Amino acid sequence: MKHEVLAIRHVYFEDLGSLELVLGDRGLPVRYLDVGRGPIEAPNPLDPSLLVVLGGPIGAFEDAHYPHLAPLLSMLEKRIAAGLPTIGICLGSQLIARALGARVYPSGKLELGWSPLTLTDAGRASALRHLEADGASVPVFHWHGDTFDLPKDATLLASTHMCAHQAFTWGEHVLALQCHPEVLVERFESWLVAYPGDVAKSGTTVAALREETARHGAKLERAARAMFGEWLDRFTVDAR
């Protein structure tokens, strides 16, 4: 296994964000594999210390439109079966759910904006506990219109009023996050420029999202770095 993180990226600004800062503190190099730039050769999913599948605006069930999804699902199946650390964020969480045999489908509503998670008892006992500070939940960023059924043998960690399945673990080595705890304030403007149609459909505004991000972003960055760090501490995902 290589002391390297492989991040599957669908959109250039939906990157590792605060997770990349945590990995940098641990001396772990990150390699991005950008899909959508022509044919790609699927790497060996067992090579990296950590595999992260990031977000994007496509559906995890749209194989007929996006041929990279089938080999990506195969990678996830092999990696999960091997018991290796794997994280999915937004689209990545949906692909993990699908790799574990769960249904992924349009939810019929767009969850877009800042709102806190409601942690389960298992969530409060997990690294997600950092998303609750001094008894109050830290607002987390959301941007998705699809959802998934909870995979068999998965442990639900968090929900929101709009989405019952916001985060889950499967075994000790898989973490799936429907929300976007990784988002960084300094990179947020790209989201607003890229997806104005979603903003209009959601009923919010660019100005409101910008203001909420300025208000909540720094607190989320601190909480997310602590969360990702604690989760990684369970594995030898460290080059130091």
pLDDT in tens, 167-204: 999 999 999 999 999 999 999 999 999 988 899 888 89
Regions of the chain short of the pLDDT cut 50: none
Tokens linked to 179: 């929300």
The CA-based angle 113-117-123, given to 5 degrees, is 150
Q: How is domain 2-232 classified at the architecture level of CATH?
A: 3-Layer(aba) Sandwich (3.40)
Question: Measured in whole angstroms, how far is the alpha carbon of residue 104 from the centre of its chain?
Answer: 15
pLDDT in tens, 127-148: 999 999 766 789 999 999 999 9
For the chain, state the CA radius of gyration. 17
Query: Domain boundaries in the chain?
Result: 2-232
pTM for this predicted structure: 0.95
CA-to-CA distance for 56 and 143, rounded, in angstroms? 10
The CA-based angle 166-233-5, given to 5 degrees, is 75
Question: 157 and 126 in contact (C-beta within 8 Å)?
Answer: yes
The CA-based angle 110-194-190, given to 5 degrees, is 110
Four-residue CA torsion sign, 113, 18, 47, 238: negative
**End-to-end Cα distance, the chain:** 15
